[in-house]
Amino acid sequence: QKEVEQNSGPLSVPEGAIASLNCTYSDRGSQSFFWYRQYSGKSPELIMFIYSNGDKEDGRFTAQLNKASQYVSLLIRDSQPSDSATYLCAVKHSGGGADGLTFGKGTHLIIQP
Amino acid sequence: DTEVTQTPKHLVMGMTNKKSLKCEQHMGHRAMYWYKQKAKKPPELMFVYSYEKLSINESVPSRFSPECPNSSLLNLHLHALQPEDSALYLCASSQIGERENIQYFGAGTRLSVL
């Protein structure tokens, strides 16, 4: 059974600090990993994706993947109040195939002004 | 353009009604998905269409009936729903064959079953 685990929070971070979000997954055959941001009442919005071990940076966001430890993380630098949302870690088993995403329960992030 | 359009945005229906949710994308994606999201829970996969053919059905009750009339459209037909089926229904689409296969989500249809 494919499982994705996240700390549900809330995670409270001061404005301007680094927010660190973590995720572990159980299916060692997982190929692709995604971070979605979801505001209350809205649909998920893609923030980052990663499929190779190491770090991937995009603006204030850095995704980190360690397949040996089955661990994915998202760092948000210079956190802004607008970053307050639920962050969903999602895992896809297959590479290029049409396969559904398995989501973690999400981490509720609060950026304190 | 990464837009997936879902209609209606809100739907209220009785347990004896028949209604349909609609999803449309014009990104040339050949995979389309239905997810269900209950309050304060993550999205859960319901169905996957690949090249207009149903490829994954996550043991969804038959009162939910998906349809993919063409590569741009995805419908979800609803019949004899239960109050516990009230949720946000999300449609997504993606390419097939790319390593990352990013799924783009529509805004969702918020369904209330009375």
- B2-47 residue pLDDT tens: 699 999 999 999 998 999 999 999 999 999 999 999 999 999 999 9
Q: How far does CA A65 lie from the centroid of its chain?
A: 10
**Chain B residues within 8 angstroms (CB to CB) of chain A:** 30-31, 33, 35, 41-45, 48-50, 55-56, 58, 88, 90, 94, 96-108
Report the alpha-carbon distance of residue A100 to residue A90 in Å, rounded: 10
For residue A26 the two structure tokens come to: 């159980």
Mean pLDDT of A39-58: 95
Residues from chain A that touch B43, judged by Cβ atoms under 8 A, are 44, 88, 101, 103
Cα→Cα distances A48→A105, B21, B76, B96, B100, Å: 17, 29, 29, 19, 11
User: Minimal CA–CA distance to B111: which of B68, B79, B67, B70?
Assistant: B79
Q: What pLDDT is recorded for position B1?
A: 63
Write the pLDDT tens digit of every residue in B54-68.
Answer: 998 888 999 999 999
Phi, psi of A81 (to 5 degrees): -55, -30
* Bridge pairing between strands A19-25 and A4-5: antiparallel
Q: Do A98 and B99 touch (CB under 8 A)?
A: no
- Closest to B103 measured CA to CA, from A28, A102, A113, A76: A102
Which of A32, A88, A98 lies nearest to residue B50, judging by beta carbons? A98
